[in-house]
Amino acid sequence: MDGYAKHIDMPVNWCEELGTVLSNDEVIDGKSERGGYPVVRKNMKQWVIDQVAFADKLLEGLDEIDWPESTKEMQRHWIGRSEGVEVDFQIVGGGSFSIYTTCIETIYGITFMVLAPDGQIVKDLMPRIENKEEVEAYIAETLKKNDMDRTELNKTKSGCCLKGIYAINPVNGKEVPLFIGDFVLANYGTGAVMAVPSHDQRDFEYAIVHNIPMIQVIDGGDVSEKAFEKYDYLGKGCKLMNSEEFTGYVVEDAKEAITKKLEAMGVARRKVNYHFREWIFARQRYWGEPVPVVYLEDGNIHVLDDEELPLILPELSDYKGKNGKAPLENATEWKQYNHNGVTGTRETSTMPGSAGSSWYFLRYIETDNENELANYELLKHWMPVDLYIGGPEHTVGHLMYSRIWNRYLYDKGLSPVKEPFKKLVHQGMILGSNGIKMGKRFPEFVVNPSDIVRDYGADTLRLYEMFMGPLEVSKPWSQQGVEGARRFIVRVWNFFTDANNLTEDNDGTLTKVYHQTVKKVTSDFEVLGFNTAISQMMIFMNAAYKAGKCPKEYAEGFVKMFSCICPHVGEELWSILGHDNTIAYEPWPTYDEAAIKEDEIEIAVQMNGKVKAKLMVAAEADEATVKAQVHADEAIAALLEGKNIVKELYVKGRLYNIVVK
């Protein structure tokens, strides 16, 4: 990604046992997801992708796709766009740092500042810190945590004061103490935050733990109750207090006035900030695409020419890296680069698995094209992907990376669409029969799909999983349900393989239920309602068995629908019905709306909003006819006796409502 790939020194999650950098989602409770090995934070030179450059485009794109709103909101939150002010703070005795805030109106309420424990600011201050041992111990503990543990999952307010170190608040010259806290990240923002405990809940809780004073600067109620809640006062006409010349300003006006003052002082800048950070694009593992760059002796980086690609991994006798070095460091001959007079050493890190998984859908469209990503005209025809089904756990991983990758290709004119996935549906999880996620904790409840296929067949497994319930809902496994699915398949097979059950003529017995089935299955498939579609197929089979016969045209239409759920049995039945070709390319069955039309319908009869009876009436009956039928009903007439009817209303096809005194 030219212009977006960078080689920078940055803190990463390092697992010594695995010998590689890990992403945040590969670290759980300070240990590697695979193997459970200790993970620490350390600075390393890394290749990263500047995904922050795509932030605004990604936010705009969310308005163009049919995704669950909760998923879109998660991506918006992960991108975390905000407009605020970056302010410079001087340190007493020398030095400075900057903070970013969206609440500049609270700057007079600062009573302390918090720095990232593992940041450069603290390193520079270390010779002047009076409680150096305490600070170093806290930093060591912080390095055992990943970013997620330190921020989103952080329930504690740990930290310690940097004794003897103070910062100067530029608006009033007051000195405030400096602390370190693991919730501040060195590689996010400026690595420092201002703390206003009167008007921010995190700061409030931190101040309580560390016994730090508070200054209320927004007239929003008692500090101990709700005034510290962030943004509680916005849009409510609240005014500043204890803020020198800005006291009495409403919050909205104070934001602008204080910003202008700081700008005039030369210590502040308006800035758009993002929660988004660089995408770490290197792993010290063997398996992965090699990074196609060479380090030259003069310190420059040479990118391989197109004709040198693809760069193939060399064969190794040892695929495990050691002492923080990648496995490809062992490929002595492969590492040495000499091409067209250019000599140097190849990069030995490989790309993460997310590299290839971020654009595979484009390659599916034309897998044998050796000259380009894929033919642009074919991409125009097939893209975007109409429907993507995947778990919500990919929301800020694969789904985000794919959008970034595709957007880059779109900007370069290689992809015809801005967004790769038009519609997204999250499928539910198959739980153990105990209602808990299958896993090591309860091995006796783990189901091996291969065992089900061996004992019952693949079609039984497919039918059962689609019949369990709505696609997006997690459902517990039921062995009885599997056996029930198998029985239904056998029932379908037995009926349609018996030639005596099939007729060439049609006496109309199954006409209504067949057309109802085609209509419902068609509409249910469109909205991925597989469980209700299967229920309707069961209704049709019950009717067929009751009739004891089925017109061949209905049998063929049913098998076409059934084959979508049970393709193996469906193909066999299609062959038995006399066809030599596959069912896959057959036209979808159609239904006749007139054949479905009901002659009679059931309506509810309400009295003062409560259902008192249900009646069968002619589907096309007008209000006068229905009224006469309602009043002629003995039970309803008895209820109306001695009452004054105020109003009557017929909602066609649904209910007849009577209001009485």
pLDDT of residue 515: 97
| Residue 233 banded pLDDT, cuts 50, 70, 90 | low
For residue 153, is pLDDT > 70?
no
| Residue 230 banded pLDDT, cuts 50, 70, 90 | very low
| Residue 174 banded pLDDT, cuts 50, 70, 90 | very high
Pairing of strands 175-180, 279-280: unpaired
Closest CA to 47 of 309, 326, 321, 311: 326
For residue 320, is pLDDT > 60?
yes
| Residue 439 banded pLDDT, cuts 50, 70, 90 | confident
CA dist., res. 312 & res. 302, Å (int): 17
Closest CA to 112 of 184, 213, 251: 213
pLDDT of residue 597: 82
For residue 326, is pLDDT > 90?
no
Q: Which residue has the higher pLDDT, 542 or 275?
A: 542
Lowest mean pLDDT among 86-100, 337-351, 433-447: 433-447
| Residue 220 banded pLDDT, cuts 50, 70, 90 | low
pLDDT of residue 227: 44
**Helical pair 567-576 and 552-565, crossing angle rounded to 10 deg:** 160
Q: What is the mean pLDDT of residues 137-146?
A: 86
pLDDT of residue 67: 97
| Residue 156 banded pLDDT, cuts 50, 70, 90 | confident
Is 183 strand, coil or helix? coil
CA dist., res. 365 & res. 360, Å (int): 9
pLDDT of residue 155: 67
Pairing of strands 385-389, 336-339: unpaired
Pairing of strands 192-195, 279-280: unpaired
Q: Name all domains of the chain by residue range, CATH numbers in brackets.
A: 82-273 (3.90.740.10), 443-594 (1.10.730.10), 599-660 (3.10.20.590)
Contact 113, 175 (CB under 8 A): no
For 311, residues 6+ apart whose C-beta sits below 8 A from its C-beta are: 289, 290, 292, 304
**What is the CA angle 201-207-208, rounded to 5?**
90
For 150, residues 6+ apart whose C-beta sits below 8 A from its C-beta are: 142, 182, 183, 185
Give the CA distances from residue 638 to residues 202, 608, 629, 634, 656, in Å, rounded to whole numbers and listed in that order: 67, 15, 14, 6, 16
Q: Write the pLDDT tens digit of every residue in 9-55.
A: 887 888 888 877 787 767 877 788 888 998 887 888 889 999 999 99
**Helix locations, 275-375, DSSP H:** 332-335, 353-357, 360-364
For residue 324, is pLDDT > 80?
no
For residue 224, is pLDDT > 90?
no
Q: Write the pLDDT tens digit of every residue in 376-390.
A: 999 999 999 999 999
Q: Write the pLDDT tens digit of every residue in 513-539.
A: 999 999 999 999 999 999 999 999 999
Contact 258, 103 (CB under 8 A): no
DSSP string, 154-166: ------EEEEEEE
pLDDT of residue 231: 45
Q: Whole-number mean pLDDT of the chain?
A: 91
Q: Write the pLDDT tens digit of every residue in 607-654.
A: 998 898 998 888 888 888 889 889 988 889 888 888 899 899 999 888
Q: Write the pLDDT tens digit of every residue in 465-476.
A: 999 999 999 999
Q: What is the mean pLDDT of residues 213-217?
A: 94
Q: What is residue 227's DSSP assignment?
A: I
Is 137 strand, coil or helix? helix
Q: Write the pLDDT tens digit of every residue in 557-594.
A: 999 999 999 999 999 999 999 999 999 999 999 999 98
**Virtual torsion, Cα 500, 504, 508, 513, nearest 10 deg:** 70
Q: Which residue has the higher pLDDT, 98 or 143?
A: 98
Lowest mean pLDDT among 165-179, 305-319, 418-432: 305-319
pLDDT of residue 239: 92
Q: What is the mean pLDDT of residues 265-294?
A: 92
pLDDT of residue 226: 47
Cβ neighbours of 84 (radius 10 Å): 17
CB environment 286-311: b (16+ within 10 A), e (fewer):
bebebbbbbbeeeeeebebeeeeeee
